[in-house]
Structure 1
Amino acid sequence: MKSITVSDLVRQFRLEVLAGENQLDRKITKARAHRPGLEFVGYFDFFPMERVQVLGRKEITYLHRQTEEERNLHIGNIVKYHPPCFIVTANQEGLKYLMKYCDQEQIPLLRTAETTTEFIARLDAYLMKALAPEIAVHGVCVNVSGIGILLRGKSGVGKSETAHTLIRRGHRLVADDMVVLKKLSPTTLLGTHNNTNREFLALRSIGLINVSRLYGRKAFQDETRISLDIELTQWREDELNNELDWVEKTVEYMDVKVPHIEIQLQPGRDVAGLIEAAANNWYLRQQGYSAMEEFMQRIQQEQ
């Protein structure tokens, strides 16, 4: 199971550590934060104790208004479950009683200046990506007109060279050679780099280039949702390459289905242009338009 540590959150969001400084190596394994509400009144049947607990103005104001005895009871009921950490938002103060319990139970107590809504939105997005199941795939990931594409094919087939042509046409590189795929949901794959290959593109006969330095920041982006899987293959003369009887094909990565297209290579063929056409055609299909359906309708009307 993937995990991050509380110290990762401290660095990512520049959080202030109020208590439990020696426990920042505690592991976080569940995405999405939790705001304890019912737990303060003693209802724990569905308490997600493995999640980060966020205390906003509503929760802290409620605790402030309790008697010391009530407060000790409510906080004690929660800390005994040892969640990974507590994060107080909006730079709220008067937290000595909370610090006492967190120190006793060795649970990190953190604080941010951000509002509760804004912080939870950013925290959930970060946790979802950081804890998402992932695999590494040999290929190239590009963003073409806002559409994420995974280019695959045998070594030397021309994936990186094709990506370079797309970059020259104003599109963006995400990762070359090794693409990291993260499963964000049953229908969503995110393509990104592995940090080591960030911004780098390897071109045969040329060597390694940094696309951001060569073509500017617009030539690169950190991640993209994968919408198309395109495999580059050698031209096969004995095959009938007639796409009028085209049926959508898919491939699966971590049980997520992605539309798949095979583009056969031949000298003089504008592969980058075909990829642009495939991306734009995919977008039109998402809008409900199919060129094939319109074509068949025209044939039926002529009969």
Structure 2
Amino acid sequence: MGKVRTKDLVKHFNFEVISGAEGLTRAIQTPDLSRPGIEVAGFFTYYPSDRVQLLGKTELSFFESLEDDEKKERMQKLCMEETPCIIVTRGLEVPKELIEAGEAANVPILHSSHKTTRIYSRLTNYLEEKLAPTTALHGVLVDVYGVGVLITGKSGVGKSETALELVKRGHRLVADDSVEIRQTDEDTLIGSSPELIEHLLEIRGLGIINVMTLFGAGAVRTYKHITLNIDLEIWEAGKVYDRVGLDEEKLKILDSHITKITLPVRPGRNLAVIIEVAAMNFRLKRMGMNAAQQFADRLEKVIQGGNNQLD
């Protein structure tokens, strides 16, 4: 999981820091936000104090109706030790009780001129992306006909060489050697390259090449949604490989599963062309056209027809 601190929100959204600047290094652990209207009313039993707090027109309008001692007490209770920050939206005036409570507890009090609902939406999207579960896999990620293809296999099997051939055929490289993967949704995996090796390919015997320099900006991508895994393995004599395509393997990455195809490697096989066809066939399957299933249905009809003639 990534790390986000309050100062990252200030920088990204250009919030104004009103008080509590010493707490800008506080960590944000959850993408969930809170609009503490019921807490302003005095009910703190289930106060989610570890969330970013948003105070809009509704909360502050009710706050103005409180007595002076109640105002001070409610703001002090809002500023807990684990509270990342409190954001006042819509350009509303920040209550002096909140400014004092934030300064005393080192809770950053931030100010924005944008509407509460807009801030809520943008903050949620930002935090969900930054705090998404992450992992890294050894492999190559290429955008082939709009399909994010993760090429895996043992070292030296030819992953980078295959990726180079795909780039020459007009497809786009995302990452080589190490693929950083974020799970942004239940079944959504986003792959990207570590900054150190971005746009680079390592070809044994040739060394490191810069794909963007050699083939242009159109040959690379910063990130791509991963939907298909091609696993390369050295051809083993006697091993039975799938020749029809009815059985579908799955690769589990974090909590998501993607389609996996195992391709045996041996001299004479054009892996780049096979991967292109695999990507196109994968797209057709998602559109409801499964050639393997159509063949199986035809075969079943032929068999049933032959049995009927025998009867």
Q: TM-score range by the shorter chain?
A: 0.7 to 0.9
Q: 1:272/1:28 Cα in 2 relative to 1: closer, same or farther (>3 Å)? A: same
Larger radius of gyration: 2
The aligned counterpart of 1:253 is 253
Taking the aligned partners of 1:46 and 1:99, their CA distance within structure 2 comes to 23
> Alpha-carbon deviations, 1:151-196, whole Å to 9, x = none?
1112222211222222233332222111112233443332222222
The aligned counterpart of 1:108 is 108
Task: Say if 2:27 is the partner of 1:27.
Answer: yes
> Alpha-carbon deviations, 1:80-109, whole Å to 9, x = none?
464111123344334444322211221011
Task: Say if 2:149 is the partner of 1:162.
Answer: no
Taking the aligned partners of 2:225 and 2:78, their CA distance within structure 1 comes to 38
Taking the aligned partners of 2:212 and 2:281, their CA distance within structure 1 comes to 28
SS of structure 2 residue aligned to 1:191: strand
> Alpha-carbon deviations, 1:204-225, whole Å to 9, x = none?
3333233333333333333222
SS of structure 1 residue aligned to 2:244: helix
Q: 1:222/1:64 Cα in 2 relative to 1: closer, same or farther (>3 Å)? A: farther
SS of structure 1 residue aligned to 2:197: coil
> Alpha-carbon deviations, 1:41-76, whole Å to 9, x = none?
233344322111123344344445655455334333
Cα pair 2:81 2:107 within 8 Å, conserved: no
SS of structure 1 residue aligned to 2:7: helix
SS of structure 2 residue aligned to 1:170: coil
The aligned counterpart of 2:308 is none
| Matches for 1:210-249 after TM superposition, within 5 Å | 210-244=210-244, 246-249=246-249
Taking the aligned partners of 1:75 and 1:177, their CA distance within structure 2 comes to 51
Unaligned runs of 5+ in 2: 306-311
| Percent identity of paired positions between Structure 1 and Structure 2 | 36
SS of structure 2 residue aligned to 1:263: strand
Cα pair 2:246 2:293 within 8 Å, conserved: no
Matched to 2:120, the amino acid is I
Taking the aligned partners of 2:197 and 2:89, their CA distance within structure 1 comes to 36
Q: Bigger CA drift: 210-219 or 175-184?
A: 210-219
Taking the aligned partners of 2:215 and 2:90, their CA distance within structure 1 comes to 41
The aligned counterpart of 1:176 is 176
Taking the aligned partners of 1:249 and 1:91, their CA distance within structure 2 comes to 54
Q: Bigger CA drift: 235-244 or 268-277?
A: 235-244
Cα pair 2:153 2:233 within 8 Å, conserved: yes
Taking the aligned partners of 1:3 and 1:275, their CA distance within structure 2 comes to 36
Cα pair 1:32 1:123 within 8 Å, conserved: no
- Give the deviation of 1:233 after TM superposition: 1.5
Unaligned runs of 5+ in 1: none
SS of structure 2 residue aligned to 1:43: coil
Q: 1:67/1:173 Cα in 2 relative to 1: closer, same or farther (>3 Å)? A: farther
SS of structure 2 residue aligned to 1:243: coil
- Give the deviation of 1:30 after TM superposition: 1.2
SS of structure 2 residue aligned to 1:196: helix
Matched to 1:161, the amino acid is E
Matched to 1:106, the amino acid is N
- Give the deviation of 1:288 after TM superposition: 3.2
Matched to 1:40, the amino acid is V
Taking the aligned partners of 2:251 and 2:281, their CA distance within structure 1 comes to 18
Cα pair 1:42 1:77 within 8 Å, conserved: no
Taking the aligned partners of 2:111 and 2:167, their CA distance within structure 1 comes to 42
Matched to 1:280, the amino acid is M
Taking the aligned partners of 2:76 and 2:201, their CA distance within structure 1 comes to 54
Cα pair 1:2 1:29 within 8 Å, conserved: no
Q: Bigger CA drift: 78-87 or 173-182?
A: 78-87
TM-score by length of 2: 0.85
Q: 1:104/1:255 Cα in 2 relative to 1: closer, same or farther (>3 Å)? A: same
Task: Say if 2:274 is the partner of 1:280.
Answer: no
TM-score by length of 1: 0.87
